[in-house]
Amino acid sequence: MLRRVLPPLLPALLALLIFVALPMLWVVRTSFNELVDGAYMVEALSLDNYTRFLGNPWYLVNTLWFSVRIALLATAISVICAYPVALYIAGTRGLLRNVLMSLVMAPLLIGLVTLVYGWIVIFRGGGLLNSLMIALHVYDEPVRYMWNIKGVVILLVYIGAPYIVLSLLDSIEKISPYLVEAARNVGASRWTAFWKIVFPLTMPGLYAGLVIVFSLNFAAFAVPLMVGDSKTQMIGLVIYREALLNNDLPFASALSVIMVAANTLILLGMGALFGRLILNKLEVKQ
């Protein structure tokens, strides 16, 4: 069997081994190296890069904790935006459904830079939104929407919400409408039927979406790079800057390890929370 299966799988597996697994291991190794002035970096086994980050309250607060907060906030807003949309789309069909699905998926395929450009046109100081609001006398001074935390969160929501819609839809479409009817039949109002039947059954989809979107948000560097300012030092952005602008590969590597570790911890926490809420009941073995 193995002799039949291995040859076709080998090229792809080798590519992943050589260009994903090994490089990732290199990152871990590099994180223990030292940067020496004049030299690019030297082989070493030191924890300096870790202590430099973890021992520095400024980094901890303004990068690690800041990234966690922004990622959680953007994820939460994405969920609030996505849930009703998924619910509505699940009830549509035909042309309307196709149009809605295309709109939802457009941000996933259209490049980030293109989308950011559109938001800049809308949000910049003299942009459309400010012109409109000032013309309508909602406020008189232009509001700063871009190149700050607001811009970063808006963009992260814009990119993240579609993923949550898609993964919620997977769950919602598995719910037979008869389950809702059965609840109505034994005396549940629409609201009760939603909260007691539909909502719990969408938890697996919601959880799957949360995991993806939180990880995306937590690691984001392009969004804060494009629409952030000096205060939006998300960890992904710091990694980018250290690696490409400061050429401090050991430090960037250590930051990557820390980022993955923190991400894993947070996802485990979410998993435990959700597990206790609902998943244990749905995943009991046969």
Partner 1 sequence: MMRFDFGALALRGFTALMMLFLIFPIGVTLLVSLNPREFVLPPTGITFEWFRAAWTSETFLRGMSVSLVLGVCASLIANALALPAAMALVRCDFRGKAAVNLLLMSPMLIPTTIFSLALYIYFVRLGYGSGLLPLLVGHVIHVMPYALRIQTASLHRFDPSFEEAARNVGAGRLRTLVSITLPVMRTGLVSSFALCFILSWNDFPISVFLAPPGWTPLPVELFSYIKFQYDAVAAALASSLIVLSAVAMVLIDRFAGLRRVMRS
Partner 2 sequence: MPDDAIQVDAIQKLYGTMKAVDDVSFSVAPGEFVSLLGPSGCGKTTSLRMIAGFIEPSGGSIRVHGRDVTHLPPEKRDVGFVFQNYALWPHMTVAENVAFGLKLRRKSRREIAAKIEESLSVTGLSGYEDRLPKQLSGGQQQRVALARALALEPELLLMDEPLSNLDRALRVTMRRELKELQARMKMTTLYVTHDQEEALSMSNRVVIMNGGRVEQIARPYELYETPASSFVADFVGITNFFEGTLMRCAEDWDEVRLASGQVLHARAGAGQGGQPGDAVRALIRPERVTLLSGPEEGANILRGQVMLAEYFGAVLRYSVRLDSGETLRLEVHNFDAILENGTPVHVRVPPEHLRVLPLDGRA
Q: Which of residues 178-237 bind partner 2 (CB under 8 A)?
A: 178-179, 181-189, 192, 196-197, 200-201
- Of 145, 158, 207, 251, which one interacts with partner 1 (CB under 8 A)? 158
Residue 270 interaction partner, one of partner 1, partner 2, none, beta carbon < 5-8 Å per kind: none
Contact between 51 and partner 2 by CB under 8 A: the answer reads no
CB of 222 closer than 8 Å to CB of 232: no
182-221 positions binding partner 1, by CB under 8 A: 190-191, 193-194, 198, 212, 215-216, 218-221
37-96 positions binding partner 1, by CB under 8 A: 40, 81, 84-85, 87-91, 93
Shortest Å distance, C-beta 197 to partner 2: 6
Tell whether the torsion through CA atoms of 235, 239, 240 and 246 is positive or negative.
positive
Other CB atoms within 10 Å distance of the CB of residue 47: 12
Round to whole Å and give the CA distance between 92 and 267.
33
Task: Dig out the tokens for 249 from the structure.
Answer: 């590969």
CB burial of 150-169 (b: ≥16 within 10 Å; e: otherwise) equals ebbbbbbbbbbbbbbbbbbb
Residue 53 interaction partner, one of partner 1, partner 2, none, beta carbon < 5-8 Å per kind: none
Round to whole Å and give the CA distance between 67 and 75.
12
Shortest Å distance, C-beta 149 to partner 1: 18
Shortest Å distance, C-beta 134 to partner 1: 13
Residue 110 interaction partner, one of partner 1, partner 2, none, beta carbon < 5-8 Å per kind: partner 1
Round to whole Å and give the CA distance between 260 and 215.
9
- Of 35, 146, 172, 183, which one interacts with partner 1 (CB under 8 A)? 172
To which residue do tokens 């990732």 refer?
Answer: 24
What is the per-residue binding string for partner 1 in 226-245, x denoting contact by CB under 8 A?
A: x---------x--xx--xx-
DSSP code of residue 234: -
